Structure 1
Amino acid sequence: MAETPKVTRNLLSAPLPDIIQRLGVAIAQAQFALDQNSVALATEMAQTEVEIGGDKYNLLSLGFVPSFYTFTEATVEAKLSFSMTESTEMSINVGVQVGGGTPFVMAAASVEVGYARKFSVSAEGMSSIAARLVSLPPPEIFTDLLRRKFENDVI
């Protein structure tokens, strides 16, 4: 089974650190995109005005706030199964034939030898990546600034 250790090494050398690093970078990029989206939504809410009783108010001054999201956990799961078999077959067939007549006797012998060595390797892999995303309240400093701005505009 000279091939078995080589195949095992190849299967076990999966780039798990690379997968984890890529997952971390992907989550950081996704988190940044979510934050940018929330800021863009806040800007849009500040520019969107509603008229109430002849006065105009933007959505933020009325208490609307954009949603903020964050990743709370991420999981990488990898499953790998493999099987290896090696078989050796050897066969020997011997035949003897005798024939002839009275003054002559003829004999023949045949030997047939067969040798086969077979290797079989199969591997199956499955992986999954899951991330949990939750909604958060807006940052406290954001709501404090909105509150102060609104109080200053009203006075």
Structure 2
Amino acid sequence: MAVAPKLTRALISAPLPTIIEQLGVSIASAQAALDRNSVQVAQQMAASEVEIGDETFNLISLGFQPTFYAFTEATVESKLSFTLMESNEFGISVGAEVGGFAGPVMFGASVDVSYSRKYSASAEGQSSIAARLVSLPPPEPFVAALRRTFETEAAED
């Protein structure tokens, strides 16, 4: 049966290492984009000013902080299912007839032979990728640097 080895080779040669590698690269890229976004939010908070009484404050100096996010886990799940079936059918039917009246006798026989072999193959695949994302406080050195920068600017004004 030529179908089974081909199907089995195709399922076994699924590029699982490549899938895992691409997941890692994708998460690293997404993490970098999240970090860039958080830094941009911090810059926007620093540029946003609020007047309280007769004083002006930026959001960072008031204690607002951007939210940072981190991937804590990622899962790749893959399910493969395949079914191979082979069936053989063999049939024989025999018939005989005898005919005659007073005189010669006639015989008739029929033989019907059949043979069939059937193959079927089916394959199903299902996969999913899940990632867990949590929020973290900004790194303390980052916040301290922001505060120092704006305290210096406030003192110069």
TM-score above 0.5: yes
**How far apart are the structure 1 equivalents of 2:11 and 2:106?**
60
Which sits farther off after the overlay, 9-18 or 108-117?
9-18
Cα deviation digits, residues 2-44 of structure 1 (max 9, x gap): 4323222222222212221222222122112211211111111
**How far apart are the structure 1 equivalents of 2:6 and 2:150?**
70
Q: What is the aligned partner in structure 2 of residue 16 from structure 1?
A: 16
Q: Which amino acid aligns with 2:140?
A: E
Question: Is 1:92–2:92 an aligned residue pair?
Answer: yes
Instruction: Count the aligned residue pairs.
Output: 155
Q: Which amino acid aligns with 1:91?
A: G
Contact kept? 2:38, 2:68, Cα under 8 Å: yes
Q: Which amino acid aligns with 1:23?
A: L
Q: What is the aligned partner in structure 2 of residue 128 from structure 1?
A: 128
Which sits farther off after the overlay, 67-76 or 5-14?
5-14
Contact kept? 2:3, 2:121, Cα under 8 Å: no
SS in structure 2 opposite 1:6? Answer: helix
**How far apart are the structure 1 equivalents of 2:150 and 2:139?**
17
Cα deviation digits, residues 75-118 of structure 1 (max 9, x gap): 10111222221110010111121112333121122111111111
Root-mean-square deviation (CA, aligned residues, Å) is 1.8
Q: Which amino acid aligns with 1:136?
A: L
Q: What is the aligned partner in structure 1 of residue 115 from structure 2?
A: 115
TM-score norm. by structure 2 comes to 0.87
User: Structure 2: any 5+ residue segments left out of the alignment?
Assistant: none
**How far apart are the structure 2 equivalents of 1:28 and 1:16?**
19
Q: Which runs of 4+ in 1 moved over 3 A?
A: 150-155
Q: What is the aligned partner in structure 2 of residue 81 from structure 1?
A: 81
Q: Which amino acid aligns with 1:73?
A: E
**How far apart are the structure 2 equivalents of 1:15 and 1:81?**
16
**How far apart are the structure 1 equivalents of 2:6 and 2:88?**
19
SS in structure 1 opposite 2:99? Answer: strand
